[in-house]
């Protein structure tokens, strides 16, 4: 998307810059819904900002062929959720779960303009595709502090929280009827409601990022600290939803049976530290007991989506199938 002179002028105005010297496209948004780009500023307090320009009319194509009214409405809802997140939550996030702060939001007739802090000048300059253990641990630490900050949040209890998803994650059952209909694994399909309800009935709820894959984290050069982006699917949920999604994006599935328990132990150690810091009145051991029990059920929930959405996907494998069977047996389904 070419950046119009009018948009450049607005960015300069809202960031108190004299002008925008240049822009650099970071990526187009999933499904053709707009563009994410970096704007370099003249005579401003910061050298650059990141701009998310979201075009709202329904695109004609979808990368996986799911170009339906349901899919389009879910995407529109997700961008409104993201606006609410950045307006009401992002600037209050704990430093151990660092996120870009919101500079400016504007809703246009057919678009949404989000201007965010650029994470690169803040030290989070690295995006990785070849992941190392330090990156995985940094992401797990980020998730632990994020979950600890919002633990026991009930999104339905406040008008502000109603601006987020009542059930976080991009694959949650209520918004994926098309994929459920396409699912050929009948045992999993028949248990979909029970899996969803079990996760929703967990005593310990928090805010989940909702799309906590590796690509949505930026890192310090050493990889020891992470920051997260892309909050379209933030909402209430069990923290295991975020953990399994992260692991699905970083595990070597041929070694997952050995790797995953180590990472799960690391996450819960970090969660215990985070709760001691942020919410010492909560019993970390009790949270861990419940959420460990929900680990295979969270995997089964994601498996339900993936097997309906893209049955040949590489995230469907012996490890995820075994955990799904474990979850179904655990639930008596």
Put residue 315 in one of left, alpha, beta given phi > 0 → left and psi -120 to 50 → alpha. Answer: alpha
Determine whether 140 is exposed, middle or buried from the number of CB atoms within 10 Å of its CB (0-12, 13-18, 19+): buried
> Does the domain made of 123-333 have the CATH classification 3.90.1200?
yes
Distance CA 105, CA 54 (A): 11
Mean pLDDT by 10 residues, the chain (333 residues): 81 93 86 86 94 73 55 78 91 95 85 91 92 97 97 63 87 94 97 97 95 97 96 95 98 96 98 97 96 98 97 96 98 93
Residues sharing a CB contact under 8 Å with residue 251, sequence separation 6 or more, in sequence order: 259, 260, 319
Give the residue extent of every domain in the chain: 1-118, 123-333
Cβ neighbours, 10 Å, residue 329: 10
CATH of domain 1-118: 3.30.200.20
> Does residue 235 contact residue 81 with C-beta atoms inside 8 Å?
yes
Give pLDDT, residue 69.
Answer: 66
């Amino acid at each position: 998307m070419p950046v119009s002179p009018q948009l450049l002028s607005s960015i300069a105005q809202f960031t108190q810059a004299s002008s925008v010297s240049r822009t650099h496209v970071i990526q187009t948004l999933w499904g053709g819904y707009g563009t994410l780009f970096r704007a370099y500023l003249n005579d401003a307090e910061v050298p650059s900002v990141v701009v998310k320009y979201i075009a709202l009319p329904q695109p004609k194509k979808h990368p996986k062929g799911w170009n339906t009214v349901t899919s389009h409405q879910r995407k529109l809802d997700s961008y409104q959720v993201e606006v609410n997140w950045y307006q009401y939550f992002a600037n209050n996030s704990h430093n151990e779960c660092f996120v870009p702060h919101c500079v400016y939001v504007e809703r246009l007739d057919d678009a949404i303009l989000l201007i965010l802090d650029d994470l690169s000048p803040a030290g989070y300059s690295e995006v990785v595709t070849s992941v190392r253990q330090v990156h995985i641990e940094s992401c797990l630490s980020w998730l632990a502090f994020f979950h600890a900050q919002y633990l026991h949040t009930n999104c339905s209890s406040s008008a502000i929280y109603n601006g987020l998803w009542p059930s976080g994650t991009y694959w949650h059952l209520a918004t994926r009827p098309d994929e459920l209909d396409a699912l050929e694994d009948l045992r999993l399909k028949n248990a979909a409601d029970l899996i969803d309800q079990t996760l929703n009935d967990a005593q310990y709820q928090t805010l989940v990022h909702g799309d906590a894959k590796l690509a949505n984290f930026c890192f310090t050069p050493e990889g020891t600290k992470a920051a997260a982006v892309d909050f379209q699917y933030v909402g209430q949920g069990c923290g295991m939803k975020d953990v399994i999604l992260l692991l699905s994006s970083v595990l070597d599935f041929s070694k997952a049976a050995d790797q995953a328990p180590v990472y799960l132990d690391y996450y819960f150690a970090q969660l215990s530290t985070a709760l001691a810091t942020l919410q010492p009145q909560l019993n970390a051991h009790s949270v861990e007991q419940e959420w460990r029990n929900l680990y295979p059920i969270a995997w089964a929930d994601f498996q339900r989506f993936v097997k309906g959405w893209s049955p040949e996907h590489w995230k469907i494998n012996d490890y995820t199938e075994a955990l799904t069977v474990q979850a179904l047996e655990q639930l008596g389904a």
